[in-house]
Structure 1
Amino acid sequence: MTDMPPWDAADLARRLAENAEAVCRHYLSAGRRHGGYWLVGDVHNTPGRSLYVRLHGGLDGRGRAGKWTDGATGQHGDLLDIIRESLGLLDFRDVADEARRFLCLPQPQPRPASDRGRSDAFGHDASPQASGTADAARRLWAMSGPMAGTLAEIWLRHRDLTRLTDLSSLRFHPDCYYRTDADSPTETWPAMIAAVTDLEGRVTGVHRTWLARDGRGKALVEIPRRAMGDLLGNAVRFGTTSDVLAVGEGIETVLSLHEVMPDLPLAACLSSAHLAAIMFPPTLRRLYVLRDDDPAGDHAVAALMARTQEAGIECLVLSPRLADFNDDLRYLGRGAMRAILHPQLAPQDVARFLQPVAH
């Protein structure tokens, strides 16, 4: 009897489906999200709209996340098929290895170098840290400078964020390259650069927010926010996590809590798909989830509730009064933010983290 790998095809497909948007952004990067679907030209990542991937299961119980159909050819399948076709893999072992690498799961056993040739041709090895885009992200992080006194600080203050000292995960680059797609000319714009790190503090990626020349808004480009590197399970972190952590999607959203709870450790996961997949620190006992008022945010909350229950971690949802907590901060003020958060926090965390607002 041969040894079975620790995750079979059905389990790998399920895990990929739980992170369907992250899978699509990585392997079908020429596409884009439209509502609850990812649209792209075909399984070979050609620009277009004929292939659609379901990002979430239907509320009526019909349809499953990760299932896709190409309306032009009639092809259909799951996300393992997307990995196989987009990378041109033939052997299922290569497909499974690539899926485990993407999900940061351990490989079942070392493979001979001759048997790994096809995967290596695509710039990967078995280590989840090995990624060309992760290396590029670390280079961009190293080339970026302190945020204080730059357009990045002006941008954050324009979002009513004022507690900006000791935010070591944020930097500034005055001339960050931007291209809408591979065929577009390269532009340079000032950008706020955020470090994406793993649980050990290693930089695995970066998030870029391209800024207007005066810092009072985002740059006038098609996609002013982009992330690169190994993102799955990782986050932009503020503070050191011990037993309590608050997580959300956007950087400005989580920093809005920092205005009234400056000692609460925070993590921005950058998308609902990555929020649902964040790795839990081993010391974590209580997780606060900042809910964005949209269906994707609701799906992320549901996924985290299930994962924390399985891990024995208390999970509490923090809901804004408006669309997100930055809107609450900007339009309602710090006093209202404190009043909104107070009844949603565990009593011991009110005393521990929620500071009175003096203005």
Structure 2
Amino acid sequence: MDSPAADLSGKLSREAEAVCRQYLSNGRKHGNYWIVGDVDNTPGRSLYVRLTGPIRGKGAAGKWTDAATGEHGDLLDLIAANLNLSTLRDTLDEARRFLSVPRPEPPTRQPQTPIARGSPEAARRLWAMGQPIAGTLAERYLSARGLTDLRSVSALRFHPNCYYWREDAVAGERPDAWPALLAKVTDNAGTLTGVHRTWFDPQTTGKAPLDPNRKAMGNLLGHAVRIGSPTNILAVGEGLETMLSLRLALAGLPIAAALSGNHLAAFEPPTDLRQLYVAIDNDEPGQTAFDALTERFADRELHLLPLRPMLDDFNSDLRNCGMEEMRSHLRPQLLPVDVPTLPAVETD
């Protein structure tokens, strides 16, 4: 079966001369060709459109070449170039308008199987609807917190209208929809187990006036938002912005954000990991999580090392103290063997 584009291209080729008279009216017919200056309908003799021939293939009607630029194509290409249409959808719509062909009915969509709200499958569907953060409200929000150069981080996405189900919603009440940063939660094998959402206020680019304005869905216990592939070292902590700040300061450091103190205490590092840095927020839950991790792995060959911020967390350090002071504060907390692997903290 022909694609919609191939079908319309064939229909246009049967009307090649009429197409030329419509879009290249400053040209003229010369034998089996229509001659004009260029695709912009400039008078001249550079562009040749074949008016006769088969519907498709070699020598097909509607094929054209601009001898001056080397451009060539079929009549769909010609219409797109003539009208400066940037998408195939717009080009096909214009071709249908010219041919008086109605747009085909959309295919019947099979209803999705209902799934439990907040389940891992719901998280997977939400993640699939996300888009890269480049140029979005999510990128602007992170940049305002000192977190830049994150466009290539595959664990982050943006959703322009992410549902927010209020805790006190009554049965049948529709959820709100706000822009949101999506963060992918995975297990050690890289399988998506959940999604963390941070909702924004599009008027202020700050967090949305919701309580709470962050929620996670799916299976989080033992898992985390992971950025970078751990080799012999990994750093884990609570908040996403905290761990992104740490990775920015210690270039190349693989990180995992467990998203809460309780989940940090339950974090499951890779089984072959021998060294785990733990970013401890400067509060009681942060210390409690570190103590719980230390107790859990007391009988395992896993070396746990604390990383402590100057202020309440590492994003506060980044925003209030600056990158260089933050690195100077972190350097003595690293094992000497790790310093050469993190170029940002190397000494001269």
Could you state the TM-score of these two structures normalised by the residue count of structure 1? 0.61
Cα pair distance change 1:354/1:291, threshold 3 Å: farther
Residue 309 in structure 1 maps to residue 295 in structure 2:
no
CA distance in 2, matches of 1:170, 1:280: 21
Residue 162 in structure 1 maps to residue 151 in structure 2:
no
CA distance in 1, matches of 2:291, 2:204: 36
Residue 138 in structure 1 maps to residue 141 in structure 2:
no
How far the C-alpha of 1:307 sits from its partner, in A, is 2.2
CA distance in 2, matches of 1:309, 1:351: 28
* Unaligned ranges ≥5, structure 1: 1-122, 125-130
Residue 346 in structure 1 maps to residue 332 in structure 2:
no
Cα pair distance change 1:212/1:344, threshold 3 Å: same
Residue 355 in structure 1 maps to residue 344 in structure 2:
yes
Equivalent residues in 2 for 1:148-297, closer than 5 Å: 148-181=134-167, 182-183=169-170, 185-214=174-203, 216-297=205-286
Tell me the secondary structure at the aligned position of residue 319 of structure 2. Answer: helix
For the 8 Å contact 1:151–1:214, the answer to whether it is kept is no
How far the C-alpha of 1:258 sits from its partner, in A, is 1.5
CA distance in 1, matches of 2:314, 2:146: 11
Q: Please tell me the residue identity of whatever aligns with 2:144.
A: H
Cα pair distance change 1:171/1:141, threshold 3 Å: same
CA distance in 2, matches of 1:354, 1:292: 24
CA distance in 2, matches of 1:148, 1:237: 19
Q: Which structure has the bigger radius of gyration?
A: 2
For the 8 Å contact 2:141–2:205, the answer to whether it is kept is yes
Q: Please tell me the residue identity of whatever aligns with 1:141.
A: W
Q: Please tell me the residue identity of whatever aligns with 2:160.
A: P
Residue 300 in structure 1 maps to residue 289 in structure 2:
yes
Tell me the secondary structure at the aligned position of residue 256 of structure 1. Answer: helix
How far the C-alpha of 1:309 sits from its partner, in A, is 2.6
CA distance in 2, matches of 1:347, 1:308: 23
For the 8 Å contact 2:339–2:345, the answer to whether it is kept is no
How far the C-alpha of 1:216 sits from its partner, in A, is 2.7
CA distance in 2, matches of 1:165, 1:354: 21
Higher relative contact order structure (alpha carbons within 8 Å, sequence separation ≥ 6): 1
Could you state the TM-score of these two structures normalised by the residue count of structure 2? 0.63
Per-residue Cα deviation, 1:221-266 (whole angstroms, up to 9, x for no partner): 1110000101100000000112100001000000001112121100
CA distance in 1, matches of 2:149, 2:326: 15
Residue 334 in structure 1 maps to residue 331 in structure 2:
no
How far the C-alpha of 1:132 sits from its partner, in A, is 6.6
* Unaligned ranges ≥5, structure 2: 1-114
CA distance in 1, matches of 2:148, 2:118: 35
1:323 aligns with 312
For the 8 Å contact 1:269–1:275, the answer to whether it is kept is yes
Q: Please tell me the residue identity of whatever aligns with 2:121.
A: D
CA distance in 2, matches of 1:340, 1:327: 13
**What percentage of aligned pairs have identical amino acids?**
50
CA distance in 2, matches of 1:152, 1:317: 30
Aligned length: 230
Tell me the secondary structure at the aligned position of residue 235 of structure 2. Answer: strand
How far the C-alpha of 1:163 sits from its partner, in A, is 2.7
How far the C-alpha of 1:215 sits from its partner, in A, is 6.0
How far the C-alpha of 1:145 sits from its partner, in A, is 0.8
Moved more, 131-140 or 298-307: 131-140
CA distance in 1, matches of 2:345, 2:267: 30
How far the C-alpha of 1:306 sits from its partner, in A, is 1.7
CA distance in 2, matches of 1:159, 1:324: 13
CA distance in 2, matches of 1:251, 1:227: 12
Cα pair distance change 1:326/1:260, threshold 3 Å: same
CA distance in 2, matches of 1:327, 1:277: 25
